[in-house]
Chains A and B, each alone.
Chain A
Amino acid sequence: MTKCSDPVILNLWHPIGAIAEAAPGGVQETVLLEERLSFAFNADGEPVVWRSRPGAQGVGQISAADRLPARSTYGYVWTSLGSPPADLFPIPEYEEPDRRKLNAATFGVNVSAPRAIENFLDMGHFPYVHTDILGVEPHTEVKEYDVEISVDRDEILATRCRFFQPMASTASDGGADVDYVYRVPHPYCSVLYKSSPVDEARRDVIAVFLQPVDQEHVRAHMLLCVLDEDNEDKVIKRFQQTIFGQDKPILENQVPKRLPLDPRAETPIRADKSAIAYRRWLSQKGITYGVIPVAA
């Protein structure tokens, strides 16, 4: 019996851990949608995921019938408690060989997944929460940008976003107007593209993959897929962790913790266009988990 009864969410792929941080040969324990899961890698390096139970110590003891769907993608193990689609959303840049690909960190956050996605989409908080890094007063205006819900790809796309950033990444050497594109290709995952300070024709990719522990707690996995030939991994991770550490108390103080989908529940401003589209998209999908659905 599963505790989440939202079929859309049950049938999704969900991230449950970074491959780089999994102890070789060991069994990792985690929680997804209020269920305890275990995972490990078989001799071929493929992930095996199962519902945790006493006595099951390793991959060899897990029968085929007890295995949940599993895949390794973008440096993480993904699984599903339902029937997931054949493919996960594409991030073509992940295949480019000159990119640095890192799990910046996996943090536990006392917030619903949709609230965390909304914060990720918001530029208005940059000067106030990420002062001197992603924004600084008086450059506080969120300029007009475009949002569409792509029917073909079933994802939200926000384009033409621009923001003045004092230090957009570890590779920055000063303030610059930075272009952003946001994708929300999965109800609990978002991918951000921002101008690369080292190559003006390309963009850094930063993704947040949220593992719903329950309706009001997540494990936030942060993928970095960036252009930076100079800095050590730990310096690049530190930058992203600093940013996320600044967001964390803001996220954890949101009330209510679940995202209200009724357009009248919270008053948006023009800068919240992408958030409005996101809430509408969740409503259209009929999602009930991690949100406060519109009253029937």
Chain B
Amino acid sequence: MITLYDYELSGNCYKLRLLMSFLGIEYKTVPVDFYPGREHKSEWFLKLNPLGQLPVIEDDGLILRDAQAILVYLASKYDPSATWYSRDNPALLGEISQWLAFADGITSTSSAARLHDALFYDFDIDAARAGAHRLFRILDEHLWFGEQQGRNWICSATHPTIADIACFPYIILSEEGGIPRQDYPAIRRWCDRVKRIKGFTVMSGVFPAGPGKIAA
């Protein structure tokens, strides 16, 4: 069975819990006391991941780190419909990779702001917030133009991909870093669509979609 080295409040770990929930994969969790215990910097954990970062998975003897890399692996191996990561479509694969890298940018801005505010990390909070707003503006425009063309998801497909999963957590948690989303209506509608994907699961700080219509 897949083992996920997990911290509940980590958006990067949540990406994997989300995908595994969408795919209906069973897995077991090893809790890592990221805060306040800093267990991801402990000797035993550094043997798993010398970068000292969550998440890590172990599957059939394979140890893999990096949320985006693990999304690629899990979707390639466990998604029989091959929609979350479409291995046979080079253009779509390129797009997915582009937005996975974009998701890393969201982590280094929006997630950094949240770590600063909630866990007292010594980051430049103004730079983190400004960086997140810049990325959110780009994504909001991209999603808005997509909606005009009938596209609901980040990539050019009729279904969500791992790019949507990779971008979702640190956008939906952005207010915890003092980054409001009022000015990004297309992002808000997209968040609502993600929450309505069958198998969606929450984490602390994320609430399920309300009943009724998609938010305007």
- Interface residues, chain A, CB within 8 Å of chain B? 18, 20-21, 103, 105-110, 219, 232-235, 237-238, 241-246, 248-249, 252-253
Contact = CB atoms under 8 A, between A and B. Distances in A.
Interface string B152-183: 00000000000000000000000110100000
Given A238-B31, A245-B204, A249-B175, A108 B39 contact: no
B126 to A, nearest CB: 16
A118 to B, nearest CB: 20
A243 B204 CA distance: 7
Interface in B1-51: 7-9, 31-33, 35-37, 39
Interface of B: 7-9, 31-33, 35-37, 39, 117-120, 175-176, 178, 203-205, 207
Closest 10 CB pairs of A and B: A245-B204, A234-B33, A21-B36, A246-B204, A108-B118, A242-B8, A242-B204, A245-B205, A238-B31, A245-B9
Interface centre among A243, A248, A253 (most CB of B within 10 A): A248
A83 B31 CA distance: 43
A7 to B, nearest CB: 29
A109 B8 contact: no
Contacts of B204: 241-246, 248
A108 B117 contact: yes
B205 A107 contact: no
B35 to A, nearest CB: 6
Nearest to A253: B175
B70 to A, nearest CB: 21
A248 B36 contact: no
A110 B174 CA distance: 13
Given A18-B36, A107-B119, A238-B33, 4 more contacts: A107-B118, A238-B8, A238-B31, A245-B9
Count chain B CB atoms within 10 A of each CB in A245, A246, A253 and give the residue with the most: A245
29 contacts: A18-B36, A20-B36, A106-B36, A107-B118, A108-B117, A108-B119, A108-B120, A109-B118, A219-B120, A233-B33, A237-B36, A238-B31, A241-B8, A241-B204, A242-B8, A242-B9, A242-B204, A243-B204, A244-B204, A245-B8, A245-B9, A245-B203, A245-B205, A248-B176, A248-B204, A248-B205, A249-B207, A252-B175, A252-B176
A77 B124 CA distance: 27
Contacts of B118: 107-109, 248
A233 B32 CA distance: 11
B15 to A, nearest CB: 16
B44 to A, nearest CB: 13
A103 B205 contact: no
A53 B44 CA distance: 38
A246 B204 CA distance: 5
Most buried by A among B7, B8, B37, B205: B205
A248 to B, nearest CB: 6
Given A238-B31, A249-B205, A105 B178 contact: no
Contacts of A110: 117, 178
Nearest to A219: B120
